[in-house]
Amino acid sequence: MSKVFVNIGLSLDGYMAPEGMTLEHWDSPEYKQWGAKWGELMGWVFNQEYFRANLKLGPGGDTGPVNDMIRFTTERIGANIMGKRMFDGGERSWPEDAPFHTSVYVLTHEKRQPWVRPGGTMFYFVNDGPEAALEQARDSAAGRDVRIAGGADVIQQYMNLGVIDELEISLAPVLFGGGRLLFANLREPAPRFRIERVLDTPAATHLRYVRE
Amino acid sequence: MSKVFVNIGLSLDGYMAPEGMTLEHWDSPEYKQWGAKWGELMGWVFNQEYFRANLKLGPGGDTGPVNDMIRFTTERIGANIMGKRMFDGGERSWPEDAPFHTSVYVLTHEKRQPWVRPGGTMFYFVNDGPEAALEQARDSAAGRDVRIAGGADVIQQYMNLGVIDELEISLAPVLFGGGRLLFANLREPAPRFRIERVLDTPAATHLRYVRE
């Protein structure tokens, strides 16, 4: 059966995104220096060959274990789930050929017809909650895995449903001092994880946790 | 010159201590299950030979790289600094022979004469703030390093003074869902760290960050 997993970059102080990185300030990365902070969090990914090819950022890039990790993670994804805020940001910044190449289930109160992008990305707008979205995503993934893409509040909803099988966290040595915390609003008892793999690189510590 | 460092256990969601682990409930570890949670956070340390010998917990224990790390960290400490709340908890739970064997500077408004323990631990009660305590600790450390022992608020004060040279974090795969956050109240710009060492074990990921 499909696994449900999260794969995100996290600052050392626990933030998925710095303060100021909101739709309102999307075109002003200098606002509260959110662009520079985001770059410090995620800079490692932009130099990986697989990521560059997937986002059409040009040839070249690293081909070591981090690149292998990104390929493995990307290829296992059969469907994505995301929140409306993340979608709204992406709708403004993804290329025409959106970088998912799977069905993407967007949790929203907005009613909207599916939105098909070239390259195999199909956005579905789900109005009946996270469990319904997960059911549709599992069906669509056809044996591959379901990625909960974000944002933080959506990940928290699925954490609290107890359905997240794996957490993949790339912990960067940067302190944001504020922003969107990944781990907040967790209900007790929290799910239990064990460390499955640690990939140690200078730019980030890539941690994979598997639910017990 | 002495380095100033922090060495702490941290839950995956960023807590140094679970909710309920306060002086008021010190004798009721079942309160909000703080004892069990603390055990999940720090369990790895109780089976290390050096730690067991240092706390007189009995013979035996692991002698691998984690034990070496604990020995290295313990032997580099020339002086400790802690907050009054941490001291109050310790005063009730440390053995007669308190486990520091150095001078310990306690940040407090309380005026109190130095308190000498057998085994070389001497507690000094400092009333004139964190910078004065650090100066005294550096003098006392005589070339060895100064450990900011905690709690979270004291570590945050020293982070915001920009004087912490190294962060040693043992990140355990446990979610507390609440408690005392290590990284909070950070002032901008936050200090910048690089990853210096990652020690990957099943019970915790031991991360060492050095200030750039």
Cα of A184 vs its chain's centroid, Å? 17
Under the banding of pLDDT at 50, 70 and 90, the label for residue B132 is very high
- Say what the pLDDT of residue A95 is: 87
Closest alpha carbon within chain B to A40: B192
Q: Is the dihedral of CA B154, B159, B160, B165 positive or negative?
A: positive
Q: What is the mean pLDDT of chain A?
A: 95
Rounded average pLDDT over B9-28 = 94
DSSP, res A31: G
Q: Which residues of chain B have a CB within 8 Å of the CB of A193?
A: 12, 173-175
B31-63 pLDDT per residue, tens: 999 999 999 999 999 999 999 998 888 999 999
- Say what the pLDDT of residue A210 is: 98
Give how far B136 is from chain A: nearest CA, Å: 29
Q: What is the mean pLDDT of chain B?
A: 95
Q: Which residue has the higher pLDDT, B94 or B167?
A: B167
Closest alpha carbon within chain A to B182: A13
Residue B1 has pLDDT above 90, yes or no: no
Give how far A10 is from chain B: nearest CA, Å: 11
- Say what the pLDDT of residue A143 is: 95
- Say what the pLDDT of residue A103 is: 98
Q: Which residues of chain A have a CB within 8 Å of the CB of B155?
A: none
Rounded average pLDDT over B7-16 = 97
Q: Which residues of chain B have a CB within 8 Å of the CB of A188?
A: 177
ipTM, interface predicted TM-score of the complex:
0.94
Is the pTM of the predicted complex or chain greater than 0.80?
yes
Residue A208 CB-density burial (10 A; 0-12 exposed, 13-18 middle, 19+ buried): buried
A7-21 pLDDT per residue, tens: 999 999 999 999 999
Residue A113 has pLDDT above 90, yes or no: yes
For the range B20-24, what are the long-range contacts, defined as Cβ-Cβ under 8 Å and sequence gap of 24 or more? Answer: B20/B179, B21/B179, B21/B180, B23/B85, B23/B88, B23/B89, B23/B92
Q: Which residues of chain B have a CB within 8 Å of the CB of A8?
A: none
Size of interface A-B (CB pairs under 8 A): 78
